[in-house]
Structure 1
Amino acid sequence: MAQGILAEVMADTALVKELADVAKDEALLKGVLMRIQETPNSSELVTYAPFTLFPTPVPRAVFFQAMEVQIHYNTLVDRISRDHDFLRDALASTVEVDQFTARLFSIHQQILAEGGSQAVVLGLNRSDYMLDQQDDRSSSLKQIEINTFAASFGGLSSRMPDVHRHVLKVAGRLDESRRILDNDPAAGLARAVAKAWELYGSERAVVMFLVEDVQRNIFDQRYVEAELWKRNIPTVRKRFDDVCQTGTLGPDRKLFVGGREVAVVYFRNGYMPQNYTSEQCWDARLMMERSLAAKCPDISTHLAGTKKVQQVLARPGVLERFFPDQPEVVKQIRATFAGLYTLDMGPEGDETVALALAAPDRFVLKPQREGGGNNIYGPEICQVLGAVKGSERTAYILMDKIHPAPAQNFLLRRDGPLTATSCLSELGVFGAYVRRGGETLLNECVGHLLRTKSSEHSDGGVAAGVAVLDNPLLV
């Protein structure tokens, strides 16, 4: 196993350096790439995306549990997005105090009032988990969150298995190298995008990636684009400013940007308040939502991925609303839930505040934000809850802190030290679905992502500069 390798090589500085050099070169050869921090928009200067020297052991049973439940999570997200009464009630307290969620919800309400928009619904999501260590012998799968918007690293994680296989071979561990599973989320995500494009019905129309102004992680997206070009499906990359300046919506609700008809809008930008730098950006979002183009995600699916919805789903009886005749599905999904608690005004919310203040180290305080680095831990929970006034607390939810078992590994970063580190890992599972009207035409689990970080860090992903890419070594 990987830990066995570490035990043998940690004392051999020369061997560790050799394996690290091999690993970095292999990552570059396989295209595990990011633009460097100093020139985030220039592809002339790139480096390897940060990753672990060795794959991390993951129990086989919990890995396949996560993979198998993904199609049910796809169905759940899609059904939530269609249950407008549920979304309204679930988010009622949040939209009163969280301006960003309120703004999204107002677009949702406007689209509903106009009778909806596109006939084709495309969902690309990623459900993230940690393994909660119950004792020395067992661990359970607990969901951190589900990302319905810009779920990243499907491209780079498609290249990671070959990197770690090669490292293990060089280390003389051929048997372990064979236990790293094939993984190609990029192809699976592109397959769903291609299906939505085909259903739109125009070979001239494009798939538009709506992207950030700063694009350091561009290669992750390029792999999905490359899969689409293999199918002769044209793609373009546009920013909010491009849509603001050149976007038009015809009387037939066809969307044109830069003179090109758009069949699919794949949002890789727009999930944080700071992405909307002007009122024109909000106008552009509304225009795209009103169009016939398939949106990934559309506004209701965006809202379905909020932390508040995650907390409401954990309440008794709520999952049964979406799977009324499928108790086994409810059981599978509920088994992955961590403890989630409301901060709504009233006795239940008051009790949650008391719990958090009494034992802040037991919990994570989560705002309605995506992108990593937003969660609040430990004594800071007391500071935040002590500072919020009245209903302002409903902008957050409280979740049990998950306690995964640490493992030793080396984190390879550009110009970073080569030292063994105590690490924690997070498993992500990619899902893809396509629906036209009331008929689901595609619903798949399309791959996985393992991210690992030093155990000294509480929060943060790869793009945030904290976690690194990894592979599960099933044990």
Structure 2
Amino acid sequence: MHSSHFSPHQDTFHQPLTVQTHYNRLVDKISQAGEPSSQVIQRAVMTKQKRLNGSLKQIEINTIAPGGCGVSAYYYFIISIFGHRYIENELWNSVHILTAKCFFCRQIPMGFLDENEALCVQMVVAIVYFRYGYIPQNYTERSWEARLMMERSLAVKCPDISTHLAGTKKVQQELGRPGVLERFFPGEPDVVDQIRATFAGLYTLDMKVTRLSMALAKPDQFVLKPQRGGGRAAYVWMDKIRPVHNYILERGTLLKLSTCICELCTFGAYVRYTHRQTCIFFHIVLRTKSDELSDGGVAAGVTVQDNPLFV
């Protein structure tokens, strides 16, 4: 799954909504559902800690109730444990896919690749979904070895290493350089112009005289951004996004017009196999916070969920 984030610079959101179809987006569509009456029994039998016989085969599972099915591949989470019970339940209820949560540097290094390059960690792993491992500080030497093993495997990686790196500020900075976008959209100058119009200026910290003079002359017009959200290192230098005016309704406070920072997140999916790809857009989230607050999200009570008005 993939998201693109846009913030308005004293303007509306017409640019990101125009170019979103050009961004790669990833989603898993779940369409098949099992029999509700058999869900609890099937899950109890198939879940490892409740399984009476580890060698149960598909046909034996199917005898429990009509519509039941077994799977031989895990949807494997590389995650912090909390907050994903809904996804786990939805995968099981929809298509009877087992999920397993694991710590990045523990269970995965115990796995191996079989002769067909399938990733095996107790069972064959079909999909690896990362909720951890996005910054270098998350990795030990064993973690790097485990990541290499996963990348070499046939398991679907969400994200794979190329998509992972595309989300870093350094790569985004390189995409803003003249001639780079044209490599990915040859013969499509209108698409290149639309995408480039959504970019904020990103600069390296190489301290060239011209850039240093620019920063010293107008320090309030720039910010330092880490490579990944939540990171605290490897900064790049970015144009500061100017706030817009909006109303924020918070508990215990009066409604007032404030200068706010908004972030429009577009969620979707992008599945790639060799040179074929599928891109699907499916959801948006708009978050707003006062420009007086420097950090924090919805869970911390700093940012509020907002509603865009499409015109």
TM-score (ref. length: structure 2): 0.74
Aligned to 1:190: 28
Match of 2:229, as an amino acid?
Answer: E
- Contact residue 409 and residue 420 of structure 1 kept, 8 A: yes
The alignment's C-alpha RMSD in Å is 3.1
* Structure 2 residue 130 is matched with structure 1 residue 267: yes
Alpha-carbon shift at residue 271 of structure 1 (Å)? 0.8
CA distance in 1, matches of 2:4, 2:200: 13
Instruction: Give 2:128's aligned amino acid.
Output: V
Inter-CA distance 309–465: structure 2 relative to 1 (3 Å threshold): farther
What is the match of residue 125 of structure 1? 2
1:301 counterpart = 2:163? yes
**1:291 aligned partner:** 153
What's the offset of the Cα at 1:235? 2.0
Structure 1 residues 241 and 340: alpha-carbon distance in aligned structure 2, compared to 1, 3 A threshold = closer
Contact 2:109 2:146 in 1 (8 A): no
Q: Which amino acid aligns with 1:129?
A: F
The alpha-carbon distance between structure 1 residues 139 and 243, as it changes in their structure 2 partners (threshold 3 A), is closer
Q: Identify if the C-alpha distance between structure 1 residues 467 and 141 changes in structure 2 by more than 3 Å, giving closer, same or farther.
A: farther
* 1:327 positional shift: 1.6
- 2:297 equivalent among 447, 453, 461: 461
Q: Which residue of 2 aligns with 1:396?
A: 235
Alignment pair present for 1:362 and 2:221 = yes
Larger helix fraction of residues = 1
- Aligned twin of 1:27: none
Task: Give the C-alpha shift of residue 245 in structure 1.
Answer: 5.8
In 1, the alpha carbon distance for the partners of 2:154 and 2:31 equals: 15
- Opposite residue 453 of structure 1, the aligned amino acid is K
The amino acid that maps onto 1:128 is: H
CA displacement at 1:305 relative to structure 2: 1.4
Find out whether 1:474 has 2:291 as its counterpart: no
For 1:436, the equivalent position in structure 2 comes to: 273
* 1:1-400 paired onto structure 2 within 5 Å: 124-133=1-10, 141=15, 189-191=27-29, 203-212=71-80, 215=82, 218=83, 221-229=84-92, 230-244=94-108, 246-257=110-121, 259-276=122-139, 278-344=140-206, 349-371=208-230, 374=232, 395-400=234-239
Q: CA deviation at 1:191?
A: 1.5
Counterpart of 1:468 in structure 2: which amino acid? V
| Structure 2 gap segments, 5+ residues each | 33-69
Indicate the SS of the match to 1:240. Answer: coil
2:71–2:96 CA contact under 8 A, matched in 1: no
Deviation readout 1:439-475 (Å, 9 max, x if unpaired): 11x2111211111223211344335663233332435
| Equivalent residue, structure 1, for 2:63 | none
Percent of residue pairs identical: 52
Other structure's SS at 2:7 match = strand
CA spacing shift, 1:464–1:141, aligned 2, 3 Å: farther
Tell me the CA shift for residue 297 of structure 1.
Answer: 1.0
Q: Helix, strand or coil: the match of 2:134?
A: coil
Q: Residue 54 of structure 2 aligns with which residue?
A: none
Q: How high is the TM-score relative to the length of structure 1?
A: 0.50
**Where does residue 66 of structure 2 map in the other structure?**
none
The answer on 1:448 being equivalent to 2:310 is no
* Contact 2:222 2:239 (C-alpha < 8 Å) held by counterparts: yes
Q: Stretches of 4+ moved more than 6 A in 1?
A: none
Give the deviation of 1:252 after TM superposition. 2.8
- Paired with 2:30 and 2:170, the residues of 1 have a C-alpha distance of 27
Q: Distance in 1 between matches of 2:304 and 2:296?
A: 10
Instruction: Give the 3 Å change call, closer, same or farther, for CA 462–351 of structure 1 in structure 2.
Output: farther
Q: Distance in 2 between matches of 1:351 and 1:193?
A: 56
User: Relative to 1, partners in 2 of residues 1:332 and 1:224: Cα closer, same or farther, differing over 3 Å?
Assistant: farther
Comparing 278-287 with 444-453, greater Cα deviation is found at 278-287
Cα displacement (A) at 1:227: 3.7
**CA deviation string 1:45-67 (max 9, x = no partner):** xxxxxxxxxxxxxxxxxxxxxxx
Q: What secondary structure is seen at the aligned counterpart in 2 of 1:131?
A: coil
Q: Note the C-alpha offset of 1:142.
A: 7.2
The answer to whether the Cα contact below 8 Å between 2:7 and 2:264 also exists between their aligned partners in 1 is: yes
Q: Which residue in the other structure is 1:424 paired with?
A: 261
**Count of residue pairs brought into register by the alignment:** 265
Aligned partner of 1:20 in structure 2 is none
Secondary structure of 1:189's aligned partner: coil
Answer 1 or 2: higher relative contact order, Cα 8 Å, separation at least 6. 1
Give the C-alpha shift of residue 433 in structure 1: 1.0
Shift of 1:139: 7.2
Question: 1:357 & 1:127 partners in 2: Cα distance?
Answer: 31
Cα distance 1:227–1:279, how it changes in 2: closer, same or farther (>3 A)?
same
Cα distance in 2, alignment partners of residues 225 and 193 from structure 1 = 15
Structure-2 change in CA distance of 1:131 and 1:283 (3 Å): same
Separation of aligned partners in 1, 2:276 and 2:109: 36
Cα distance in 2 for residues equivalent to 1:424 and 1:407: 9
User: How big is each residue's C-alpha offset from its partner over 1:275-321, in whole Å with a ceiling of 9 and x where there is no partner?
Assistant: 23x43222222222222111111112211211011111112221111
- TM-aligned CA distance change 1:471 to 1:140, over 3 Å: closer
Aligned to 2:48: none
The Cα shift of 1:263 comes to 0.8
Unaligned runs of 5+ in 1: 1-123, 147-184, 195-201, 376-394
Letter of the 1:451 counterpart:
R
The separation in 1 between residues aligned to 2:301 and 2:218, in whole angstroms, is 29
Shift of the alpha carbon at 1:324?
0.6
- Distance (whole Å) between structure 1 residues aligned to residue 137 and residue 175 of structure 2: 28
Superposed displacement of residue 397, structure 1: 2.1
